[in-house]
Structure 1
Amino acid sequence: MERDRKRPGLLEKTAEVLDLPGDVVAGLPRVELTGSRELRMENHKGILAYGSREIHISGGKLVIKVRGSNLELKSMNASQLLITGEIDGVDLT
């Protein structure tokens, strides 16, 4: 029996019932950029590389590369982090 591809999966149903964004339920990274001076990220999996010009963050299946100058990891806990500095670009790989 072929599975109906239009039927929502368990994660989608859970997100809908709990009125939560699907990315949060699925554990996907959520990146918020405020201007060119601040980047907040939820659901990270750790720092892979750290420097004043580039910071690489694990997002599970994605790697988020923050490029700029005077970059600084201002705060970090198990699920969230804050990077400040002159952010020139953000790459998702």
Structure 2
Amino acid sequence: MKRKGTNIDATSLQSRMADAYGIPKDVALGMPILTVTGNSELCLENYRGIQEYTDTLIRIQTKTGQIKLHGTCLKVEYYTNDEMKVTGRLHSVEYQ
């Protein structure tokens, strides 16, 4: 329960605790990790599922929100429970 005038929430508390104990935030908070190579390859870790998949848009659900990949000739090369690789011509990455 939030009190009026405070901005304390569970995520910021977990973030501060991770900082205090030196735990990486991707581990403590399950935050997504994106590794982009040029404009033709993206590897994503810590995702929950693919919500939409076309050759111009891939929408991915993560613990902290959605990630939209816009481009042309987009293709999911592989995916596992923890990681996926997208290839094609990436135009933008959008966080929601």
TM-score (norm 1): 0.79
Partner SS state of residue 24, structure 1: helix
Residue segments in structure 1 that go unaligned for 5+ positions in a row: none
Residue segments in structure 2 that go unaligned for 5+ positions in a row: 1-7
Tell me if 1:88 matches 2:95. no
Aligned with 2:64 (options 58, 61, 80): 61
Aligned with 1:50 (options 48, 53, 64): 53
**1:21 deviation in Å?**
2.1
Percent identical residues: 28
CA deviations on 1:19-68 (whole Å, 9 max, x unpaired) are x5222321111111110000100000010000000000001231000000
Aligned with 2:80 (options 55, 58, 77): 77
Map of 1:27-46 to 2, 5 A cutoff?
27-46=30-49
AA of the residue aligned to 2:93? V
Number of aligned positions between the proteins = 83
Runs (4+) of structure 1 moved beyond 2 Å? 11-14
Counterparts of 1:24 and 1:57, CA distance in 2: 19
Considering only aligned residues, what root-mean-square deviation do their CA atoms show, in Å? 1.9
TM-score (norm 2): 0.77
AA of the residue aligned to 2:39? S
